[in-house]
């Protein structure tokens, strides 16, 4: 298959905000189904283009590619076609006689963040998200937001009435997007959260008090939104508890929570000085 078709397939997935992997034979010893350079593309939905051998081997490779996609990490996998154990290799059950090394290269789409409200928290949050590599789009009701967005170098800014922003959310929020509702008006924020839950947004982040969040969740459930979906995608109040006080500190705490979510990390200090000092003191006694 021509490489242009494989590249086109990869680009199609990335444009849709979906992850995809390119599987390529990078080394071969002995007899195996395909030679070095054979390629196959596997999308996060399991759809594949091209082939590296077919049969049980290809099914195993697709499975490994989907695992790599889910983890978001590229990997080199060794497959045996010898019919006997080979160190570090996965047994394909086939007996061609050789061994293949396949590099599974995972491609991740540029993540988009929609920040609703370029106020005290929205401004520094947008800036930090941009530094983190997000494609940041802003929505606001204030014309002054246009200048703020330009100064921050955001990808786009939409200014309109509350209902126009709600429509914009429905029309533009796509699969995997993160929506940050930091506008600050109770009525408007509820509309924005509700409309965001109707989209394929990965997460919806709401700035507000515990009382505000409690009322929003109660109303959403009464309006028929799935409790499971609310728990899965709505995060509120947002931010890691770092004692934040200023808008900039709040923005940092929100970004920190996003990092924790993306990396699956446990929040802890990396400071080892107290431990080292204690160990040195023990060793000197």
Q: Which of 61, 72, 57, 56 is nearest to 23 (CA)?
A: 61
Q: Which of 195, 183, 188 is nearest to 233 (CA)?
A: 195
Phi and psi dihedrals of 183, rounded to 5? Answer: -70, -50
Q: Write the pLDDT tens digit of every residue in 109-127.
A: 888 999 999 999 999 999 9
The string of pLDDT tens digits covering residues 161-178 is 999 999 999 999 988 899
Structural domains of the chain sorted by starting position, each given as residue range(s) with its CATH number in brackets:
3-107 (no CATH), 112-263 (3.40.50.720)
Neighbours of 226 (CB within 10 A): 12
Report how far residue 90's alpha carbon sits from residue 71's, in angstroms, rounded to the nearest whole number: 19
- Radius of gyration over every alpha carbon of the chain, rounded to an integer in angstroms: 24
Distance linking the first and last C-alpha atoms of the chain: 70
pLDDT at 272: 63
**Burial classification of residue 271, based on how many CB atoms lie within 10 Å of its CB (0-12 exposed, 13-18 middle, 19 or more buried):** exposed
Please answer whether residues 166 and 191 qualify as being in contact, where contact means their C-beta atoms are separated by less than 8 angstroms.
Answer: yes
| pTM, 2 dp | 0.78
Q: What angle do CA 175, 234, 248 make, to 5 degrees?
A: 100
Contact 206, 232 (CB under 8 A): no
Calculate the CA 45 to chain-centre distance.
15
The sheet with strand 135-140 has its strands ordered as: 156-159, 135-140, 112-116, 178-181, 203-206, 234-235
How far is C-alpha 92 from the geometric centre of its chain's CA atoms? 32
Q: Which residues of the chain have pLDDT under 50?
A: none
Determine the Cα–Cα distance for residues 217 and 220; give it in Å rounded to an integer.
Answer: 5
Residue 262, classed as helix, strand or coil, is helix
pLDDT, one tens digit per residue, over 31-70 is: 888 889 999 999 999 999 998 887 788 889 999 999 999 8
Whole-angstrom distance, CA of residue 238 vs CA of residue 258:
9
């Amino acid at each position: 298959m021509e490489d242009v078709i494989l590249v086109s397939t990869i680009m199609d997935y990335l444009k849709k905000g979906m992850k995809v992997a390119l599987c390529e034979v990078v080394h071969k010893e002995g007899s195996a189904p395909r030679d070095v350079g054979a390629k196959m593309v596997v999308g996060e939905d399991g759809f594949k283009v091209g082939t590296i051998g077919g049969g049980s081997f290809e099914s195993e490779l697709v499975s490994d590619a989907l695992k790599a996609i889910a983890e978001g990490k590229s990997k080199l996998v060794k497959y045996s076609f010898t019919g006997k154990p080979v160190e570090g290799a996965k047994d394909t059950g086939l007996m061609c006689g050789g061994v293949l090394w396949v590099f599974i290269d995972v491609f991740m789409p540029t993540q988009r963040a929609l920040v609703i409200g370029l106020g005290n928290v929205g401004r520094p949050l947008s800036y930090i998200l941009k530094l983190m590599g997000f494609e940041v789009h802003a929505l606001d009701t204030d014309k002054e937001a246009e200048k703020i967005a330009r100064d921050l170098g955001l990808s786009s800014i939409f200014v309109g009435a509350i209902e126009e922003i709600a429509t914009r959310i429905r029309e533009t929020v796509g699969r995997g997007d993160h929506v940050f509702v930091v506008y600050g008006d109770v009525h408007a924020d509820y509309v924005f959260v509700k409309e965001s839950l109707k989209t394929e947004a990965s997460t919806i982040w709401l700035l507000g008090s515990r009382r505000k969040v409690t009322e929003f969740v109660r109303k959403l459930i009464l309006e028929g939104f799935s409790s499971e979906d609310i728990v899965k995608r709505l995060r509120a109040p947002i931010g890691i508890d770092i004692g934040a006080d200023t808008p900039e500190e709040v923005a940092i705490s929100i970004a920190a929570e996003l990092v924790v979510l993306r990396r699956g990390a446990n929040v802890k200090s990396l400071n080892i000085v107290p431990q080292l000092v204690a160990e040195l003191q023990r060793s000197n006694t």
